[in-house]
C-alpha cells in the first residue's frame, strides 16, 4: 500500500504538548544557554561524528538495500531534506537507534535492530529518529547524552556554571528528553502509517524477541498501555520522579505506547493523514490551553493529562 506523503510537513502539527512545555521550562532556567554554549565548545558534535565514522558501517542502496529502502521511505514520507547519512554500528544485546549531528545529522542503527526489526518496523524507528531532526532536537539531545560524563568536569571548572546540575538544569534536560520521545513516536507512526507495526516495534524495543510476539502478547501489551494512561502519577514522591527522569535513555515502551494510542484515539493522527497539517511556511500555530506563564514551573508527572486544542 502506498503511503501518504507530507510535503512541507511542520513538526508542530504532531508535536506532543509535553515536549513543547518541557522545552519551554528548560529554556527558561537561568544558565541554560551558557551551559549549551560551553559544552559545545568542547567540540561534542565533532566527537560524535568522528566516533561514528571510525566505528560504523555506512549504509547505502548497494550494501544494505532493504535497510536503506526503509530509511529512504521514512525520509520521503516526512519530507526530510537534506537526507542524513545512515550508519550501522555494533550490537549491544538490545535494539538501539540514535541520531547525532546538529548541522549535518547522521542516523545510527545497531546490529540488534538490523537483525530483529522487520522492514516496516525499521521505517517506524527511522521515522522516530528523523523526528528528532525535524523538530531540531539535536543540540539538546546531544547535550543530554554527554552531560553525565562532563558533569563533574563542568562543575569543577572555571566556566562559571558549576553546580547547575544541582540547581535542576540537568533534571530539566532529562525530563525534556523523555518528552521528546513522545513527539518522535508520532513521527515514526506517520512514517510507517501502521499502528500494529509501531506497536510491535515498541514491544521489540522493550526487549522481547520477535518469535515471542503473538496476538495475545500484543493484545495484553496494548491493554497494559491503556491501563497505564489512567495511572495516578501525581502520587509518586519526588525521589521517584527524579529517578525516572535520570532513566530517560531506557525504552519506556509502555509509556510511549500509551501516549501514541491517546493520539490515535483523539483523531488527530487521522486528521494529519487526511491532509490537515501545517507546512514549514505556514503561519498557523498550535495553542496550549494552559497559561504559558506557568510553563516554567511545569512538571509532566504532576500534569499528565493537560488539556490542549489546536486552532487553524
Summarize pLDDT for 106-126 with one digit per residue, the tens: 999 999 999 999 999 999 999
Residue 309, domain member (yes or no):
no
pLDDT score for 286: 36
Residue range(s) defining the domain that contains residue 107:
11-297
What letter would DSSP give residue 11? G
Give the side-chain half-sphere CA count within 13 A for 39: 27
Cβ 19 vs Cβ 182: under 8 Å: yes
Report the C-alpha gap between 24 and 217 in whole angstroms. 38
Give the CA radius of gyration of the chain.
19
C-alpha distances (whole Å) from 157 to each of 11, 39, 46, 153 are: 38, 12, 22, 6
Residue 306, domain member (yes or no):
no
Count of structural domains within the chain: 1
What integer is the mean pLDDT of 190-205? 98
Q: Which residues contact 109 (CB under 8 A, 6 or more apart)?
A: 59, 67, 86, 87, 88, 89, 96, 97, 122, 125, 126
pLDDT score for 117: 97
Q: Which residues contact 250 (CB under 8 A, 6 or more apart)?
A: none
What percentage of the chain carries pLDDT values higher than 70?
Answer: 74
Residue 6, domain member (yes or no):
no
Cβ 24 vs Cβ 296: under 8 Å: yes
> Other C-beta atoms within 10 Å of 76: how many?
16
Kindly give the pairing relationship between strand 85-89 and strand 106-110. Answer: parallel
pTM for the whole thing?
Answer: 0.84
Cβ 68 vs Cβ 124: under 8 Å: no
Residue 54, domain member (yes or no):
yes
pLDDT score for 284: 47
Residue 184, domain member (yes or no):
yes
Amino acid at each position: 500500500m502506498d503511503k501518504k506523503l507530507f510535503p512541507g510537513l511542520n513538526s508542530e502539527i504532531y508535536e506532543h504538548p509535553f515536549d513543547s512545555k518541557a522545552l519551554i521550562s528548560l529554556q527558561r532556567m537561568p544558565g541554560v544557554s551558557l551551559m549549551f554554549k560551553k559544552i559545545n565548545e568542547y567540540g561534542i558534535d565533532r566527537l560524535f561524528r568522528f566516533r561514528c565514522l571510525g566505528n560504523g558501517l555506512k549504509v547505502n542502496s548497494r550494501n544494505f538495500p532493504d535497510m536503506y529502502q526503509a530509511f529512504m521511505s521514512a525520509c520521503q514520507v516526512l519530507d526530510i531534506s537534506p537526507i542524513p547519512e545512515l550508519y550501522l554500528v555494533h550490537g549491544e544485546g538490545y535494539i538501539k537507534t540514535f541520531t547525532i549531528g546538529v548541522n549535518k545529522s547522521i542516523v545510527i542503527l545497531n546490529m540488534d535492530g538490523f537483525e530483529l526489526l522487520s522492514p516496516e518496523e525499521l521505517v517506524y524507528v527511522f521515522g522516530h529518529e528523523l523526528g528528532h531532526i525535524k523538530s531540531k532536537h539535536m543540540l539538546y539531545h546531544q547535550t543530554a547524552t554527554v552531560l553525565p560524563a562532563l558533569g563533574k568536569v563542568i562543575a569543577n571548572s572555571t566556566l562559571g556554571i558549576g553546580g547547575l546540575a544541582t540547581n535542576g538544569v540537568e533534571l530539566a534536560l532529562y525530563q525534556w528528553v523523555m518528552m521528546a520521545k513522545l513527539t518522535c513516536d508520532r513521527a515514526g507512526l506517520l512514517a510507517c502509517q501502521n499502528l500494529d507495526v509501531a506497536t510491535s516495534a515498541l514491544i521489540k524495543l522493550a526487549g522481547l524477541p520477535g518469535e515471542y510476539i503473538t496476538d495475545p502478547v500484543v493484545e495484553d501489551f496494548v491493554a497494559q498501555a491503556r491501563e497505564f494512561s489512567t495511572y495516578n502519577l501525581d502520587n509518586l514522591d519526588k525521589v521517584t520522579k527524579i529517578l525516572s527522569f535520570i532513566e530517560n535513555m531506557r525504552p519506556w515502551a509502555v509509556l510511549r505506547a500509551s501516549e501514541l494510542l491517546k493520539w490515535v484515539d483523539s483523531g488527530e493522527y487521522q486528521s494529519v493523514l487526511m491532509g490537515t497539517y501545517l507546512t514549514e511556511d505556514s503561519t498557523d500555530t498550535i495553542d496550549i490551553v494552559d497559561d504559558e506563564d506557568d510553563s516554567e514551573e511545569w512538571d509532566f508527572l504532576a500534569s499528565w493529562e493537560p488539556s490542549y486544542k489546536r486552532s487553524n
